[in-house]
Structures are given as C-alpha cells and as structure tokens.
Amino acid sequence: MNKYVVGVDLGGTKISTALADFEGNVLSQSIIPTNAHEGEERVLERIIKSIQSVMSEGDATLEDIKAIGIGSPGPLDSKKGIIITTPNLPFNNFNLVKPLKEKFNVPVFLDNDANVAAIGEYMLGAGKGKKNMVYFTVSTGVGGGAIVDGNICRGNTSNALEIGHTTVSPFGPRCNCGNIGCLEALSSGTAIGKRGQEAVNSKVETSLKKYDKVTSYEVFKEAANGDEVAKDIIDNALTFLGIGIANAISIFDPEMIVIGGGVSKAGDIVFEKVREVVKKRCFKAMAESCQIVPAGLGTDAGVVGAVALALLELDK
Ligand SMILES: [Zn+2]
C-alpha cells in the first residue's frame, strides 16, 4: 500500500513517465509523443494513459500510488496547478492538476522544468545530502532552481530563479525576453553559437569559417583546437556565466552549485572558468565552502526530477 510515486516529464515533443519507489528507483517507464497539435484535452488524455501504462507495467494499483509529480515548461502557477502558456504545448491557462487529482485520487504536484531538475539533483543527483543548493541549466537557454534549507524556492508567482533573465551587463545584447544584457543572451549555448556565426560573417580570421553553420559545439571545438577567436567567445560567455553564478552564491550562500544542460558537457573548461570568476567575485568564506559540480542525473533527469518533486512534496 502507498509505496510508489509517479513522475511525468511533459515536453513539447514527448511525455516521459515513470513509476518509482520512495528511494527514487524507477520501476517502469513510458515515453510517448506529446502530439501537442492535437490540443490540450488530447494531451491530458495521453498523460493519463502514460500514467496508467507505467502503473500496469509495474504491477501497481491506485492504492499503491502516493503522489504524482509533473514537470512542465513554464510559465505556470504551481500553487494553482495551472500551465499559463508555453510555446511548444497547447495549454493556455489550463488546470492540469485538477483533472489528474480527480482521476487518480492522489496529490498531484506541478512545477516548471528547471525547478524540477533542481529538485531531482537535490533529492537524487549531485546535491544529495545538501540542504542549500542552486542548480543552473545552461543549454539553448539559461534557467535554474534553488533549494533553500531543504525546500525549493518558488517565490510569489512560482517563477523564482528565472536566473537566465537577470541582467549581468547593462549594455546588451538584447535578449528574447526583451530585456538587455540578460545572462541567457550572453552565456547560453545559443548565445555562444550566435557569437561564433557573427565571427564567421566578419573579417576576422578564424577556423570557424570552415563550417557551414556554427553552433556552440563548433565554437567549443575550435577553442579547444587553439583558435583565438573561438577561445575569446568561450571565455567571454563563461565569464558572464561565472558572474551569474557568483551572484547566486552571494544571494543564497549555498553548499553547492550544480550545473547541467548542454554547455556543462564541455567539461573542465566550463567549471575551471566559473570557479575562477567565483573566487574573484564572492566573499572568501562563501566561495570556499561552495562546491561547483556537474549535474549527476543523465538523460532521464526530467522524469527523475518529476519523481523527486512528488517525493519532496510528500516529505513536507
Ligand atoms: Zn532575458
């Protein structure tokens, strides 16, 4: 009785669902296409089906399930269980929690995917055992989540830790959100690729010119091969990332910063630069007591995070 939780990672292209025990061990998993174009009711039906499918595969009855956790792109209102609007999903002020609660008769928790990833790292990943931890995801965008004294920091409107849209340079460039000088516009994978493409289109000499299309991957690669232009682009982007992280350390005084997302996969170059900037910009005591480490969860981070969300909320 009541021995499992279900996690649902709702994405624009796929719905990934898992049945897990209270230690977070995944017992059965389902991945199905979201088919977002079919509209909100059909996507809701598919979520229900995926939950039923992991339950039957894991031989779990309704009585065995203690809670459901859902991670979704935001913006959303986690208190009300409403997905407000999101570019790749059909939801528009849609209450996702209510129909699932009614269907399965268990508590259902919804949070944005960056918070869910942060909770996943805190409960089951690199941050296990820490009480104060800030998670950064650096890929096409920059997002994050903060665990403060063992709890996720959501803020008034559930949008706390929109860290990618904190201003780190008053002089630009303009971000997709409309603001100037956001961390995301300076240090995301997209930003690095854009700077690389700008270099290709300029008169400077760079080995990046041998590529038809330049993304952050090529910029990291050519930087590692010694191309000065690529090295500058990477150094600049990582300096701003370091500033964003130093700011988070000064605000939250965490035991650990966990960095995930595609850019973090570049490895040592990222972590060494970030640590160097943090050392320069934070109080010594805080900088020295804060580990800066790569994310511990792999490709299943989204759904494992959703499992962790259910476990964290149940634990309260
Ligand atoms: Zn922005």
Instruction: Measure 171 CA to ligand 1 centroid, in angstroms.
Output: 13
β-strand pairing of 26-33 with 65-72? unpaired
Measure CA 271 to chain center.
18
Q: Which residue has the tokens 């459901």?
A: 68
Mean of the per-residue pLDDT values of the chain: 95
What local confidence, expressed as pLDDT, does residue 75 receive?
87
Which H, E and C letters describe 75-103, residue by residue? CEECCCCEEEECCCCCCEEEECHHHHHHH
Instruction: Measure 144 CA to ligand 1 centroid, in angstroms.
Output: 13
Which alpha helices (DSSP H) does 125-188 contain, by range?
183-187
Tens-digit pLDDT profile for residues 237-285: 999 999 999 999 999 999 999 999 999 999 999 999 999 999 999 999 9
What local confidence, expressed as pLDDT, does residue 289 receive?
97
For residue 290, the 8-state DSSP code is -
What local confidence, expressed as pLDDT, does residue 292 receive?
98
Instruction: Measure 2 CA to ligand 1 centroid, in angstroms.
Output: 42
Instruction: Measure 280 CA to ligand 1 centroid, in angstroms.
Output: 25
| Orientation of helix 301-314 relative to helix 113-124, angle to 10° | 80
Instruction: Measure 277 CA to ligand 1 centroid, in angstroms.
Output: 22
**Omega within 30 of 0 (cis) for the link into 173:** yes
Which alpha helices (DSSP H) does the chain contain, by range?
40-57, 97-104, 113-124, 183-187, 189-200, 216-224, 228-252, 268-281, 284-289, 301-314
Q: Are 255 and 289 in contact (CB under 8 A)?
A: yes
For residue 59, the 8-state DSSP code is T
Q: Mean pLDDT for each consecutive 10-residue tract of the chain (316 residues)? A: 90 96 96 94 96 97 96 92 88 95 97 95 96 96 96 92 95 92 97 97 97 96 97 98 98 98 94 98 97 94 96 90
Instruction: Measure 181 CA to ligand 1 centroid, in angstroms.
Output: 7
Strand, helix or coil at 10? strand
Exposure string (b/e) for 9-24, b if CB count within 10 Å is 16 or more?
A: bbbeebbbbbbbeeeb
Instruction: Measure 38 CA to ligand 1 centroid, in angstroms.
Output: 30
